[in-house]
Amino acid sequence: MGFRTAKYWTGAVALGLALAAAACGPQGARAPVPPVGEAPLIARGDLFGDPVRHGGQLSPRGDRVAFLAPRDGVQNLWVLSVDAMDEARPVTDDRLRGIHSFVWALDNSTLLYLQDDQGDENARLFAVDIARGLPRALTPAGARAEILGMSADDPGAVIVSLNERDRAWPDVFRIDVVSGARTLLQRNPGNVASYVVDRSNRVRLALRPAADGGADMLVRGANGRWRTLLNIPFEDMRVARVLGFTADGGSFLMFDSTGREEYSALVRVDAESGLKTPVGENENADVVDVWLDPATNMPVAFATEYLRREWRGLDPETQADLDFLDRQLTGDFTVASRSADNARWIVIEEGPTTASRSYLYDRADRAGRRLTSLFRHRPALDSAPLQPMTPIEIESRDGLALVSFLTLPIGSDADGDARPEAPVPLVILPHDGPWARDSYGFNAMHQWLANRGYAVLSVNYRGSAGFGKSFLNAGNRVWGGRMREDLADAARWASENAIAQPDRIGLVGSGFGGYATLAALAFDPQVYRCGASYNAPSNLFALLDTSPVSARSELYQRFGDARTDAGRDILRQQSPLFHAGQIRSPLLLAVGPREGRGLRGEADQIAQSLRSRRGALSYLVFPDEGRDLVRPANRLAYLAVLEHFLSDCLGGRAEPVGAAFQGATINVFDGATRVPGLSAFARQPPAAPLPAPAASDGAGGPEAEAPAPADDPAL
């Protein structure tokens, strides 16, 4: 099976409107909305500040709910009893960057969370007893920890991979959650990228990168010896993912496309023979999610996703749960947490016009199934004028279907046909990754920009995950080529269909989305009026140099092989840093230097190039941030600058700055006078010219690449 053929505008939009109407259910009829100039502004803080409450997780016994909420303006862990849901109390008191993800330990009294140092991505593991509220560090600073598993047979422990000894190749430890005592379970021989433990906390699987960009999956037998169980070809690497062992330890579940014509399936793999048995599959879409029974770890439902996510139960009881929730909720939903006995779930509902909300679902209540509101994540949005989203397919110049999502400005679509009455300014949002995807549902950026008067378009360009392995691998070595052209094709489509004003199209992105913005402005300057880029890699040689050694062989195939002349040509041609002089449109450039990939230096060089050519540049550095703008003050400050930048460039509305810069840490090297109040953060740019970027061979970096040996009993 090859690529999915593209649908044209009429059929795609008709399907999108039908889906949108179905999502709205009985409340789908919307009251007339005022023109954009009269519609109330949705406050930046309501969309992008920390949620009031979110991230709810049931304790193993199902008697408590832990969740994230601000405490004195910083996101912390809170706990409430299911029997007293209005009596929540905080159990941490972080005063810096807050806590953003956590899990319950299986002792039912300890919470575990990962936190890095101001965005340096070296996540450190902490434990906090919910009764005492005193966090304890379980892993050292400067090393990257990852939770691999926990076991009901050993409830006082957590299994962690840790790169303290070797930055490139992690070891595996058992850590006592109370005492912090560490026991080495597996020393990495210097060629294993990751490990998997079973339900008894035994190290059972190892993934060893291969020289061709694929990997060998090794299994540890009862005799302690390792052997190759499966080979994962390069083309299937970005799809393959182990989900966990079943309770009996004899098999494990994974998403896999190996040996399949196109789309990934949920498969059960015999841990002795490697025999795969499909459990869930779809002929037209990848399997992207699964619900596992807490006791057996067997799948009870799975989801596929093309335009919309679709769930299917694997047993009558779970299908009855799906049917019940579908009747009770108007938006899309998923299960975020389960008690160990599977009697209680936390269910999250959301949709394009429904901001996320959490429910407690009692499956075994005496009166039958019962759904109770737990909390609304952003209650200020309940009465906000949120806009519907339309799924569409856009045909690329070479015939690929680019699944995309369109949101129109408030008041622009009087007849509800998913077209504005007259063309409007357009903002394209290329997603980060690039091996990720945009999906249908609530999107704060879509709602914010549509409220300000822009059409908003998210495009799943080639290389995006979830649309089959051919589509994903079509992005190899064309970051600045066909992937960039997909975005230009989407802009052309929007202009030809009277959605966008052709001379008022901009891009906004971070990570790969920021790279895509820089590449678009450099290589397609005639298409875009302006662009905004946060923490974008612009030198692909440097991106290879700073990538994990364990991923290097695969990335040579994805980016371009810097060890060959042809590969170096690709990397140079597709690195915006080497072509920054071609950027003529206004650029908002921002960076958080704590991410550790040298992106601050690259941004400095781009700024220097534009500055010398008197380009319209705004350049911001957030010194205490990394890959993401984690501190709310910094996040809201950047968005205030972005809002005024887009208003100047594309003509949309802008909320007054107000107190948006209060508490923010910013160095502004260019463009400080363009936004009220930003001059207070102005700094002088470097006076001396910066050195030209070096074109390394992409094989350097702090660690040398280790060859993969034959099967090693001592692994």
3-state secondary structure string across 197-255:
ECCCCCEEEEEEECCCCCEEEEEECCCCCEEEEEEECHHHCCCCEEEEECCCCCEEEEE
Token pair in block for residue 688 = 């001396």
pTM: 0.92
List, in sequence order, every beta strand (DSSP E) within 29-134: 54-58, 64-71, 74-81, 84-90, 102-104, 110-115, 124-129
Q: What confidence tens digit (pLDDT) does each residue in 290-320 have?
A: 999 999 999 999 999 999 999 999 999 999 9
Contact 490, 484 (CB under 8 A): no
Phi/psi for 494 (5° steps) reads -65, -35
In whole angstroms, give the CA distance from residue 450 to residue 445: 8
Q: Which residues of 547-569 are buried (b: 16+ CB within 10 A; e: fewer)?
A: bbbbbbbbbbbbbbbbeeeebbe
Q: Look at residue 35 in the predicted model and tell me its pLDDT.
A: 60
pLDDT score of 711 more than 80: no
Tokens of 385: 């004028």
Say yes or no to pLDDT of 31 above 50.
no
C-alpha distances out from residue 178 to 46, 162, 273, 596, 684, Å: 38, 19, 39, 32, 50
- In the predicted structure, residue 32 carries a pLDDT above the cut 60: no
Asked if residue 702 has pLDDT above 80, the reply is no
How far apart CA 233 and CA 211 sit, in angstroms, is 11
**707 pLDDT more than 50:** no
**Cβ-based neighbours of 643, under 8 Å, separated by 6 or more:** 44, 452, 654, 655
What amino acid is encoded at 682 in this protein?
A
Read off the amino acid at residue 187: R
What pLDDT does residue 37 have? 62
- Is 245 in contact with 254 (CB distance < 8 Å)? no
pLDDT(225) > 80: yes
User: Over 60: is that where the pLDDT of 574 sits?
Assistant: yes
Per-residue pLDDT at 612 = 80
- The pLDDT of residue 693 is above 90: no
pLDDT at 4: 30
Q: Which of 568, 572, 402, 586 minimizes the C-alpha distance to 488? A: 402
Contacts (Cβ under 8 Å, ≥6 apart) of 258: 230, 231, 232, 233, 236, 240
Q: Per-residue pLDDT tens for 147-175?
A: 999 999 999 999 999 999 999 999 999 99
The pLDDT value recorded for residue 53 is 97
Does the structure show a pLDDT above 70 at 124? Answer: yes
pLDDT at 364: 80
What is the model's pLDDT at position 366? 66
Biggest alpha carbon–alpha carbon distance for the chain: 75
Model confidence over 319-372: pLDDT tens digits?
999 999 999 999 999 999 999 999 999 999 999 999 999 999 999 876 789 999
Quick one: pLDDT band at residue 36, thresholds 50, 70, 90? low
Contact between 495 and 550 under an 8 Å Cβ cutoff? The reply is no
pLDDT of residue 592: 96
pLDDT of residue 39: 86
Secondary structure class of 697 (helix, strand, coil): coil
Contact in structure between 499 and 455 (CB atoms under 8 Å)? yes
54-93: pLDDT as tens digits: 999 999 999 999 999 999 999 999 999 999 988 999 999 9
369-413 pLDDT tens trace? 999 999 999 999 999 999 999 999 999 999 999 999 999 999 999
Tell me how far apart the alpha carbons of residues 435 and 239 are, in angstroms, rounded to a whole number. Answer: 9
CA distance to 519, 600, 617, 682, 685, per residue, from 620 (Å): 19, 10, 10, 9, 11
Q: In the chain, what percentage of residues exceed pLDDT 70?
A: 91
- The whole-number average pLDDT for the span 643-651 is 98
Three-class SS state of 581: helix
Continuous segment of H or E residues that includes residue 643: helix 632-650
Tell me which residue of 396, 352, 599 sits closest to 492, measured CA to CA: 396
For range 524-531, the mean pLDDT = 97
For the segment 439-484, what is each residue's pLDDT rounded down to a tens digit? 999 999 999 999 999 999 999 999 999 999 999 999 999 999 999 9
Residue 673 has pLDDT above 50, yes or no: yes
Q: In 3D, which of 595, 512, 590 has the Cα closest to residue 555?
A: 512
Q: Are 152 and 133 contacting, i.e. CB atoms less than 8 angstroms apart? A: no
Residue 190's pLDDT is what?
97
What is the mean predicted confidence (pLDDT) over 229-254? Answer: 97
Looking at the chain, the whole-number percentage of residues with pLDDT higher than 90 is 87
Query: Which domains does the chain carry?
Result: 56-190 (2.120.10.30), 385-681 (3.40.50.1820)
Residue 232 is predicted with a pLDDT of 98
Q: Determine contact, residues 80/64, Cβ cutoff 8 Å.
A: yes
- Which band of pLDDT confidence, cut at 50, 70 and 90, is reported for residue 712? very low
pLDDT mean across residues, the chain? 91
Band the pLDDT of 24: cuts 50, 70, 90: very low
Q: Does the pLDDT value for residue 701 go beyond 60? A: no
β pairing state of 500-510 and 424-428: parallel
Spatial CA neighbour of 196 closest among 145, 140, 148: 148
